[in-house]
Every structure is written in structure tokens, then in C-alpha cells.
């Protein structure tokens, strides 16, 4: 199965469907990522704060998959923001991953209270020029944070990874960033089980109509809107199910019905006030 590639604003490409390891037990990470790679995933999204970069690295090394066939993302944690620490943080992540470079490096949260994200992004520009990451971007940034980045650095981030699911579709933020060439990545694409997304009539009806699982419908909803998405699972059967989303297509009416689920229902932290 060929996963669609999305062209980023720096000329690189990213697989639109990937595999996330948020809250994956470090002791289980190598097994889980190995199974994901066996299923067919080639885009893995991790972060320094997840504590499982080493397990991801071991799975990559054991897979035998050529490095140029993989897309690996990691993220800079908030405590490492700043001109003096960001480069060392990537060095540590690369050592844990067993890689010479990552494909995408993100500032994990803006932490506007610290006011370091602009200086940090300048460091990331340097890391990219040194070949330690191919692309750079941000995560959980709101419109004012993004505006400051490109006003003060002149660089448009390649992606913004944000909480996004049918109950919290982030239309206003997407309408701002996507015309500028900032692609949207979704974390928590299935709502993290914090509301009954699969019980929503629009989702269950589409699942019945296409003889697929509700999760497959929601993943397909993301894909058809051009969103980069990486669901997670610790079970191989569910990994395979989440990967098998290219044999059907939602109708415009089904997309509209799922769009109507949006209630501005954030299930994670608010980037404007998060201080972890």
C-alpha cells in the first residue's frame, strides 16, 4: 500500500499517515514500533518528553528498512527551549534514536510565559542548516505565536502539530496557517477516548455505509481534508485497521455530517496557558 506524500514548504515530503507513540510505555516501545513498521507504517512521531526515543531507535535499527524510506519526527521539550539548550537537546534525541538526523524537529509547546520560542526557532533554523534535521516546525502554536515566528525570523514553519479531531476541528487556525504553507498535523485524532466520538451518528452511519470501523472513518475524515495524521495503538490488529483506510472514500455529505460534530471541544491543554 502506498501512503500519500504531502509536499512541505521547504521542498521535502512527509507521509500523510503515520504512527504516534505518545504515552507508549518505554518498555513496550520497541515491540510496538516494530509491529507498526511490519504493518507498513514508515512515518513515526515521537518526542523527547515521551521517554521512548530509545525504543523507537531500537525498532528502526532492527527493522532493516533503509533510512531514506523512513520519516522520523521528534520534539524539543519546553524546559530545553532557548538559544543555549536547544541544540544539545537535539543531540541527545539523536543519540537515543541512533540517528544522524531526523526528518522533522518541532518545538513541542509555545510556552508564551517563557517567551523563548522565537529564539528557539532561530536555533532550529541553524540545526536544519547543519543537516541535523531536514525540516523544522512547531506544535500547539496558535495564530499569534505563528505570526511572531515568521515576523521575527522570516521563516514559515513546515508544519504545526495541533490537537485536532471532529469535536475540535480547529477550522479558524487551519484557515490561517494553511494558505501560508504551514501544513496541519493532528494529534489526538480520535479524541483520545475522552468523548463518545465513535457513537456520534455521523461517524457510525458512515462506518456502516462503508463496512469499516468508526476509527477508520475518522482517520479518513482527516486524510480527505489534507491533514497529516498519526493514530496510535499498542495492538497489531488495531494498527493494521488504522492503516487500512485507502480502500474507501467518504462522500461530501458524510464529511459535512462529521464536520457538524465540531463543538470546540478541546480535550488537551490550552497552549495559551499550559505551563508544564
List, by residue number, the catalytic residues.
Answer: 50
Site of grid cell 531507535:
57
Using the CB atoms, write b or e for 134-149: b if 16+ within 10 Å. bbbbbbbbbeebbebb
Distance CA 220, CA 211 (A): 13
Instruction: Evaluate whether 261 touches 200 at the Cβ level (below 8 Å).
Output: yes
Distance CA 168, CA 189 (A): 9
Edge-to-edge, what's the strand order for the sheet holding 71-76?
19-20, 43-45, 71-76, 102-107, 133-139, 159-163, 183-187, 228-229
CA neighbor of 92 nearest in space, from 47, 123, 59: 47
Cell numbers for 159: 508544519
Helix count (H) and strand count (E) of the chain? 10, 10
Amino acid at each position: 500500500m502506498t501512503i500519500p506524500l504531502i509536499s512541505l514548504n521547504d521542498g521535502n515530503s512527509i507521509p500523510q499517515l503515520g504512527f504516534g507513540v505518545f504515552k507508549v510505555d518505554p518498555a513496550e516501545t520497541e515491540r510496538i514500533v516494530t509491529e507498526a513498521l511490519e504493518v507498513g507504517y514508515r512515518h513515526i512521531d515521537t518526542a523527547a518528553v515521551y521517554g521512548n526515543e530509545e525504543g523507537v531507535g531500537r525498532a528502526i535499527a532492527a527493522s532493516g528498512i533503509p533510512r531514506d524510506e523512513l520519516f522520523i519526527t521528534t520534539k524539543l521539550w519546553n524546559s530545553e527551549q532557548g538559544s543555549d539548550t536547544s541544540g544539545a537537546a537535539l543531540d541527545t534525541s539523536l543519540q537515543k534514536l541512533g540517528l544522524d538526523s531526523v526528518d522533522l524537529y518541532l518545538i513541542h509547546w509555545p510556552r508564551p510565559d517563557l517567551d523563548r520560542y522565537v529564539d528557539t526557532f532561530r536555533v532550529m533554523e541553524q540545526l536544519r542548516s547543519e543537516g541535523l534535521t531536514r525540516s523544522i516546525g512547531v506544535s500547539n502554536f496558535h495564530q499569534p505565536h505563528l505570526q511572531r515566528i515568521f515576523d521575527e525570523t522570516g521563516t514559515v514553519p513546515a508544519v504545526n502539530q495541533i490537537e485536532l479531531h471532529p469535536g475540535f476541528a480547529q477550522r479558524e487556525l487551519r484557515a490561517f496557517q494553511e494558505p501560508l504553507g504551514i501544513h496541519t498535523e493532528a494529534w489526538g485524532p480520535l479524541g483520545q477516548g475522552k468523548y463518545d466520538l465513535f457513537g456520534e451518528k455521523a461517524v457510525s452511519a458512515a462506518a456502516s455505509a462503508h463496512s469499516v470501523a468508526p476509527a477508520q472513518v475518522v482517520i479518513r475524515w482527516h486524510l480527505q481534508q489534507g491533514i497529516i495524521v498519526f493514530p496510535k495503538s499498542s495492538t497489531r490488529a488495531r494498527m493494521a485497521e488504522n492503516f487500512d483506510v485507502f480502500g474507501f472514500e467518504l462522500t461530501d455529505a458524510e464529511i459535512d455530517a462529521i464536520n457538524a460534530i465540531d463543538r470546540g471541544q478541546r480535550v488537551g491543554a490550552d497552549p495559551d496557558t499550559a505551563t508544564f
